């Protein structure tokens, strides 16, 4: 790995975000392709964060900082990646379901998915089933991820899946769900394709869905 890429990778691990925009421009000026920076600078850093988070050696605030550090570089790279038409592993649509305003975990999933090379559209919180349906039609994601933190809003995930079925787009996507009260058996019960208990596992699941691992 070139020196600049290895600096970017360790900046992500350490959450040093201040230099990331400038470093990204510098790497591009040195002739590195956006894709190469993503694959060999940012992703190794974020993968390491995912492993440490799963192992319980890093905690939510640190992971959020790492994800924001990665985001600072992605802001520069995204238009270039989109231009080249390549780079993205797949598309993930995320949202917190109707009635629920919690978004810290969802945002973490969003940032980690971006870190893994997915193009992410985040609908935000308190999203009606119809908002998911409209976004699936417009954004055409490979994966739809729904988040709920309240036992009272979990059922909105089921309603959203039903709405996707009724709109005839259910089979165009894989559906993953998460949030503290959600379990694998609930996912099975409502007909989701998968459940993940944390952001790193969500990324693994999304990658499995698109055949990236
Ligand atoms: C922060 C917080 C809030 C903040 C939310 C701020 C925000 N912007 O998100 C505020 C203050 C607004 C809030 C409000 C309320 N809250 Co609140 N809140 C919490 C708290 C303390 C932390 C949640 C959190 O962010 N955790 C950290 C993140 C990183 O973890 P996470 O969300 O679980 O996400 C991880 C995984 O679940 C997974 N994941 C998450 N989403 C997804 C999605 C996909 C697709 C996948 C695959 C994975 C995945 O990956 C994430 C990262 O690893 C929890 C308690 C707790 N310890 O969980 C209560 C808690 C969730 N809240 C609770 C309640 C009751 C409420 C209120 C009703 C309180 C009230 N009376 O007003 C309101 C409801 C508002 C609403 N309509 O949504 C209860 C829920 C009880 C229940 N079983 O239903 C909890 C459990 C507290 C408690 N013990 O009573 N809350």
pLDDT in tens, the chain (213 residues): 689 999 999 999 999 999 999 999 999 999 999 888 988 998 889 889 888 988 999 998 999 999 899 989 988 988 887 666 555 789 999 999 999 999 888 988 888 888 788 999 999 999 999 999 999 999 999 999 999 999 999 999 999 999 999 999 999 999 999 999 999 999 999 999 999 998 889 999 999 999 987
Return the pLDDT at 1: 66
- Strand 143-147 versus strand 194-195 pairing type: unpaired
Residue 90 · residue 130 · CB < 8 Å: no
Residue nearest to atom 90 of ligand 1 (CA): 150
- Give CA–CA dist 77/179, Å, rounded: 30
Distance separating alpha carbons of residues 202 and 177, to the nearest angstrom: 9
Give the pocket of ligand 1 (CB within 6 Å). 60, 99-106, 108-109, 145-147, 149-152, 176-181, 196, 198-199, 202
- Say how many Å lie between the CA of residue 4 and the centre of ligand 1: 38
Other CB atoms within a 10 A radius of the CB of residue 175 amount to: 23
Residue minimizing CA distance to atom 1 of ligand 1: 102
The residue contributing the CA closest to ligand 1 atom 46 is: 178
State the pLDDT at residue 124: 98
DSSP 8-state class, residue 32: -
Kindly give the residue spans of alpha helices, DSSP state H, lying in the chain.
3-14, 20-29, 34-37, 43-54, 60-84, 104-115, 129-139, 155-166, 184-190, 199-209
Q: Which atom of ligand 1 is nearest to the CA of 145?
A: 45
Ligand 1 site-directed mutation target among 56, 105, 152, 156, most atoms within 8 Å of CB: 105
Give the Å distance between the CA of 90 and the centre of ligand 1: 27
- Residue 84: its pLDDT value, please? 61
Query: Distance between CA 180 and CA 195 in Å, rounded?
Result: 11
Supply the pTM of this predicted model: 0.84
């Amino acid at each position: 790995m070139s020196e600049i890429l290895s600096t970017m990778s360790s900046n992500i691990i350490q959450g040093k975000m201040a230099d990331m925009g400038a470093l990204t421009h510098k790497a591009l000026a040195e002739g590195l392709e956006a894709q190469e920076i993503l694959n060999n600078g940012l992703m190794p850093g974020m993968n390491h964060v995912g492993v440490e988070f799963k192992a319980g050696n890093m905690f939510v605030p640190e992971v959020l900082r790492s994800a924001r550090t990665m985001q600072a570089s992605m802001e520069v790279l995204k238009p270039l990646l989109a231009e080249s038409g390549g780079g993205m592993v797949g598309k993930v649509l995320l949202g917190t379901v109707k009635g629920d305003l919690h978004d810290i975990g969802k945002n973490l999933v969003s940032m980690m998915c971006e870190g893994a090379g997915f193009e992410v559209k985040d609908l935000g919180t308190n999203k009606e089933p119809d908002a998911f349906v409209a976004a699936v039609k417009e954004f055409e994601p490979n994966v739809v991820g729904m988040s709920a933190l309240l036992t009272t809003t979990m059922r909105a995930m089921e309603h959203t899946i039903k709405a996707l079925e009724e709109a005839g787009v259910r089979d165009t996507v894989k559906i993953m769900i998460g949030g503290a009260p959600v379990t694998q058996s609930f996912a099975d019960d409502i007909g989701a394709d998968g459940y993940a208990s944390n952001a790193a596992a969500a990324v693994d699941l999304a990658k499995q869905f698109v055949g990236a691992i």
